[in-house]
Structure formats: structure tokens, C-alpha cells
Amino acid sequence: MDAQATGGFLRFFDALPDPRAANHVHRLSDLFAIAICAVICGADSWVDVAMFAQSKRPWLSTFLDLERGVPSHDTFGRVFARIDPDAFERCFSNWMASLKAQGQRLIAIDGKSIRRSFEHAWDKSGMVHLVSAFAQTNQMVFAQIATKSCGGEDRSNEIEAIPRLLELLDLGEGDVVTIDAIGCQKQIAEQIALQKDADYVLAVKGNQPTLHEEVKHLLDEAALENFAGMPHDFTETIDGDHGRIETRRVWMTDQVQHLGQAILAQWPALSSVALVESTREMPGHHPVGERRYFISSIQAVNARKMAESIRGHWGIENRLHWQLDVSFGEDQRRVRKDHGPENFSRLCRMSLNLLKSDKSLKVGIKAKRLRAGWDEPYLLKLLTG
């Protein structure tokens, strides 16, 4: 591979261990380069990747060693099914660390199942479930960890995956990590606040019954009295769309001593709590209200910033999971063997990051993928920019 190609994104994957014997025909670096180019340009399977390699062989030969021809789809499938996903993720994380945004970052952590990654229709326990860290600042995936789904809506394995994911993240002072209720765990709070020196905002629900009861009681009682006598901050936003009006009210207070010493002793760095009240109004319907509760290590009482963190968390749904399903067809992909589903998904997340990092085209992801498939200099720019 020439200096121009290895000078960009691809160089971070030079250290990826090759799972094959020494007498292999195709270089792993060539397989990886072809695969990432193919996925950027719209490939959704190993057959698609091999067809891309055949169609683009003259261009690929300008910077790859293809004297032995292009790999078959079986070769791509077999190799990526055996590549160590942890080693792959370390290379990915090293690349993302080089792109670290300056200043405060909001990192949302959430999980997503690949719906067709199970081997047999009667047994969905092997479905691959991915937990990702999404940076709101530049809207990129910073890291991902796979765990086997238990099928259905059971996400309990995320609890053991989140600490491993946090280990991969380069966090520090000013960064805020948001996680929904599944990640509201004492060990996770400690890892973020004490080991990583970052702040957390964790949703509180019934999976932590004692904490939920105390936080709910404190904030509901305070809201009933309009927080009279309790130092706090408040913000309100009103959004309207297609006749629906949604009002969001956020109260935040640092008066956590009212939760009791037992709670404070158990939850590391707990410094503030927040109440979010959402009310939806639609013509001809009664208003629908909902209250949600959060704990945080953030000491500064600023309801507007807390509201931004809480709402920003759902960017991982709107700008990552939705994009992977709509633009990359993740839920319809039928790659299933060994580490293949996780590693193909990682290729998709890398491709999404590369496409989002390019600011030269003011078009959507789908249009950028089409341009990359049609315009070889543009594709090379994505790899080397």
C-alpha cells in the first residue's frame, strides 16, 4: 500500500492481528482496505464486497497488492469471522482517539441488537447485541462492544459490557457520560467519576428500587411545593410539530443530602438530581404527561445544561441507530457466522464516521455513499483525509 493511503485512516489498522496461517494468499491489510471501501460505497454483504473488488480492481491495484487477484466472498467472510473483535476495537479506538474533540463532550452509551444475526429462527439467543459510545459533539461512534443478546427485550448483558466499553474511552474532566436505566449501577458510576475523572448522568428507574423511591419522593415532594426553600434551577422548553405541542420542564438541585447518608455512601460522587416532566398535547386528545428521574455527579446546578445532556442522549437513537438501519440496512443484514456480524457492523460504524467527518459535501449519508461509489478520488479522500 502506498504512502498516501497509509497516511490516513488505514494506518491505524496496520497492527490488526491476522488470524490465518502464514501461507495465506491475500494480505489482511488489502482485505480490510477493500472491505471498508466497499461498505462506504454501499456493500451490505460479503458477496457485495467481492463484487466491488472485482469491479474496482484496476483502481484498487493502484495502491493495493492484488497480483494474486481479488479475494472471493468466501475469503472475506471466513477472515472477518475469525478476526479478534477486541483487537479490531482497539485499532478503532486508537483512530477515534486521534479525532478527539476539544472541550466538553457529551458521550451517550446505549445498546442495539442486530435483528438477523442469529443462526436459527427458532433460537434468537445468539443474536448479537452491540453497546456503542456516541459522541454528540461530532456525531461519531467512539467505541463499541458486543454482547450476546438473550433474545426479546432482555438487555441485562449490557451491564457487563458497559464497563468494558468505558475502559476503551479516553475520558477526562468536562466530559459527560449519559446512560439509560440499565447502566444505573454503582460500579459504573464509580468507574466514570472516580476512575475516568468524568461526570455521569444516569436515568433512575425500578431496577434500582431503593434509589428510585428516594429520588422520586424527594423530587415529587419538592415539585409539589414548587421547590420552595430548596436551592435549585429550572428550565422549560416548548416544541410544536404537526399540531402536537410538547412541553419539557427540568428541575435540578444539588440538595442530595435529603436522600440520606445510606444512598450517598453507596453511590460514588453523587452530587445532584434532576426531574424531567414532559407533557404532550394533541388536538382532540387529553394531555399525556410523564416524569423521569436522574442522578448525576455534576456539581454545578444548571438546569439548561442538564436538559441538553438528557435530550442529547437520544442522539444515539436518532443519529446512530436510525442511520445504521436506514442507510446501512443493519437490521436486514444476514451476516451470521462467528465474529462476522460484529465485525461487519464495526465496518459500518467506521464508514459512517468517515462519511460524517467529510464536510465538503452538504448532502446526506446516502448521497455521500453514492458519490463515493461513482467518484474514486472522493473515496480516496475519505480514506486519507
Q: What is the pLDDT, as a whole number, of residue 35?
A: 96
Give exposure, 227-248, as e/b (b: 16+ Cβ within 10 Å).
Answer: beebebbbbeeeeeeeeeeebb
Rounded (5°) CA angle 198-84-168: 5
Residue 82, pLDDT > 90, answer yes
Q: What is the pLDDT, as a whole number, of residue 127?
A: 63
pLDDT tens sequence across 334-359: 566 778 888 988 898 889 889 988 88
Q: What is the pLDDT, as a whole number, of residue 148?
A: 57
Q: What's the average model confidence in pLDDT over 29-40?
A: 95
DSSP state, 192?
I
Residue 150, pLDDT > 60, answer no
Q: What is the pLDDT, as a whole number, of residue 96?
A: 81
Indicate the pTM of the whole model. 0.80
Q: Quick one: cell of 337? A: 457466522
CB 202 within 8 A of CB 194: no
CA distance 244 to 140: 31
Residue 377, pLDDT > 80, answer yes
Q: What's the average model confidence in pLDDT over 375-381?
A: 94
CA distance 334 to 118: 9
CA distance 134 to 288: 30
Q: How many CA atoms lie within 13 A of 315 on its CB side?
A: 20
Q: What is the pLDDT, as a whole number, of residue 246?
A: 84
Q: What is the pLDDT, as a whole number, of residue 345?
A: 86
Residue 118, pLDDT > 50, answer no
Query: What are the residues facing 109 on neighbouring strands?
Result: 133, 179
DSSP string for 323-381: HHHHTT-GGG----STTHHHHHHHHHHHHHHHHHH--S--S-HHHHHHHHHH-HHHHHH
pLDDT tens sequence across 49-68: 999 999 999 999 998 888 88
Ranges 226-240, 262-276, 326-340, 370-384: which has the least confidence: 326-340
Q: What is the pLDDT, as a whole number, of residue 155?
A: 57
CA distance 259 to 215: 7
